[in-house]
Structure 1
């Protein structure tokens, strides 16, 4: 009999305890609560936080040739120029700087090409400048005898253009064979034209590239690696080339073989060649922005071998092998 009653007693006792615990009004049970436990409150649905406004109100300034941006710049100049020129020190400082920059006794910076000294020179008579040359012995003398290679002022007059000389990229092994960079008004975008330093003339039917933010280097006498504006989608949002291509003499530039393409939001991709003794090393550089870059070495068979540098390392040159 006891064996039949015991389970019933245990069940009844457990049920009574559960009933007591389930009664919130019971003071004995209430006293078991943790006094430090906060009172719970019903959950409510909070209003979602609004998304931050990330739109740049001055994004139109990125259109460097845009009418609105140019108007804004002109308005700022109209305010700042009178303030600068109205300073009593302005004339004296400007004249002193101009005198130093155009002084006839400043040292002409030399560049050796096939045993001759080349120099780019600007003065009062040659505002845009001229590229000239002389012999090494003549350069060492007190009064070098210069020969004009190309007169940028004369070229601008003949072609009715606002040419600014931006330098040259010359063929290794034959440095008298060059690509001249000419800018209309001094902007970043340039026109490329093949030029023969030895004969002092543009090469008839030679390499020529319309105005763009172009990066270029020689592979050999008949081949270039070039990054330029190839049409819609071929430049980054910064206006520089997205692609590098292999362009062979006598072919249409639009048929040039693509060797690399970077993202639309990257700043640029370019080619740079450095010389170390008798060796040449060409590097392709992708720049996501001003402060980072990714580099590849162009191998002898034309492939790209990535250089495992951290992205914030800036490649400056080659030392040894």
Structure 2
């Protein structure tokens, strides 16, 4: 079940962002001609940089790459950091995270021998052993070699009840667009008569073993302005894609329309969500008799989490007073109602409050097993797990997990009460628990050894006062014997958008290549994220976004005031939406940092909605086509606020040619301007890897080594 379908389909990620190019309306052309900021500076960054694989663009990219690689790889620390990172990512003793279904634990494994990865499975009993015996199913390395393709595995979706039949998603070089093929685990083959869908940003659900509901690129004018499908059709086994039966259409101005299913007792209900904006959706039920889709009576800012004992569970991102009810639910609440009654009568009955957060708590995850709803809650940015059950009312107990950092449910299945829970902290390596939520049995089954020496590391949590007085929490991870004289090299990390929560997590590469070298790490839980629920996120939407940047600045100023560091030794890092944050920090407070690592960023905020999936993020950033929102975007857009004569810190841009989510032109155009103005910058564009730059583990080690070499040069030397 897609707990937060828009996050799953559109973000990502990270994080978060995706795409397709969009024709430019005449109104926008006129507006650009009338805007002073769009005359000189925009033309200084030529649009040929937006040609992803254009010869002129890649020639410039390769020049920048060569210069940066020569400079950073010549530093003896680069090889040290690369070797350490490669050893960590290729380690044989990392946890083989898996999903449990149909009696097997399925795992996708990558190491130095399986660079692209190996899909495999084992039994639950065998999985609990230190060295499980695995049944190898599909080698992506072998498939790529056989077909001479740059395949990257993007996951599989298997038919419930017969988990051997799966639709495998394969990406060319790590793009979000995938080719989909039907695979049979039992025979370990792609089925000759199986479902095959060409490369596109496709979403689907199994109606039954012989039928799919599909949203994909159906041809001309079948994608939204954001590059996602808005037309859903039903495809029968053996039927050509062109003969699929139309089920539902949204509009091209939507973000997209995506099919999914929920299970009500033994009945599989076909559903779809129409995302009008990134945060506003309509949910529909598709009756089996082929009659018209019926819209559920839900508020626009809501996520359907699934069905439990007949109750449709909802996560609310706004206040809701259902028609005909005396109850009012608040933003951040979990609520439910009797789905069977609604299907029969189209009336809401037995409306229930499942969970209500306080000001410093929020729902971090909702998982539904056979007999329990598992809530992962963030309480002052610390994780706890609660098990909920339903009779005539909801009841719950706290799961007695060891209190040792962040927790997440890594595997859950509605056909079983066995879940896997991962636990980690800044200094405690990942530990995996098998939990039977029905009898409360908790068993530690996997853990990784320490990747760095944390014996001298301490973790503290502080609060900084932002410009408007809001208290912004942040973590400081440091060696216990540092001197408070402003000399400590410090890396501050943040994201600040799309209701994404940043929690304490274990990173062997960060520990080995930064903390062990004497570096301090700061994680800032700024607004725009989800650490304290929907209101924490919505405080920084659109033209209110400056509070996010004020929060980041406040944390930086606070650690300087504590003499943990100083501007000379303070660097910042962020990716995707966090890359935009880095760009704004670079232009708004260049005096506060000495190094900026800007990963897969948005930087041109006056054209972002025309690049790949940019139109889908208008609900987050605002639209350049709306005058007051454009006026604000002009003020924050990093590309349009560079002072040719300004005094700026060094900045390293990291992006990917194959990123079809956030266009590499953002980084290209800003690098182009900085080069013209004579400002110091480094640039590295990975040819493969997509938005997360994760096509292979060796590339991950290379990218991180470049980043930590850059930071060491600027903050330690």
When normalised by structure 2's length, the TM-score is 0.35
1:76-108 Cα distance to aligned partner (Å, 9 max, x none): 766766676577765555544443332211121
Instruction: Give unmatched runs, 5+ long, in structure 1.
Output: 1-50
Partner of 1:315: 304
Quote the Cα distance in structure 2 between the aligned partners of 1:287 and 1:73.
Answer: 36
Counterpart in 2 of 1:202?
190
Which shows bigger deviation, 231-240 or 220-229? 231-240
1:16-27 equivalences under 5 Å are none
Retained in 1: the 8 A contact 2:285–2:294? yes
Q: Which has the higher contact order (CA 8 A, sep 6+)?
A: 2
Please name the residue that 2:261 is paired with.
273
Aligned-CA RMSD value = 3.1
Q: Determine if the alignment matches structure 1 residue 67 to structure 2 residue 67.
A: no
Aligned: 1:157 with 2:155: no
1:146 and 2:127 equivalent? no
**8 A Cα contact 2:211 2:237, kept in partner:** yes
Contact in 2 for aligned 1:60/1:68 (Cα 8 Å): no
Worse-matched range after superposition: 179-188 or 67-76: 67-76
CA distance in 2, matches of 1:315, 1:202: 33
1:109 aligned partner = 97
Query: Is residue 131 of structure 1 aligned with residue 119 of structure 2?
Result: yes
**Residue aligned with 1:154, SS:** helix
Secondary structure of the equivalent of 1:314?
A: strand
1:305 to 277, 282, 294: 294
Q: Is 1:178 aligned to 2:177, yes or no?
A: no
| Other structure's SS at 2:158 match | strand
Task: Find the counterpart in structure 1 of residue 231 from structure 2.
Answer: 243
CA distance 1:298–1:97, change in 2 (3 Å): farther
Gaps of 5+ in 2: 1-29, 311-717
Structure possessing the higher radius of gyration over alpha carbons = 1
In the TM superposition, residue 120 of structure 1 has moved relative to its aligned partner by: 0.8
DSSP 3-state at the match of 1:133: strand
CA distance in 2, matches of 1:62, 1:235: 24
Alignment of 1:38-117 (within 5 A): 52-53=31-32, 65=52, 67=54, 71=58, 91-117=79-105
What secondary structure sits across from 2:144 in the alignment? helix
CA distance 1:116–1:62, change in 2 (3 Å) = farther
Aligned residues: 271
Q: Which stretch has the larger CA shift, 307-316 or 84-93?
A: 84-93
What is the TM-score of this pair, normalised by structure 1?
0.73
Aligned partners of 1:258 and 1:62: how far apart in 2?
Answer: 39
- Displacement, 1:315? 2.9
Cα pair distance change 1:69/1:120, threshold 3 Å? farther
Give how far 1:140 is off. Answer: 2.0
8 Å CA contact retained: 1:272, 1:283: yes
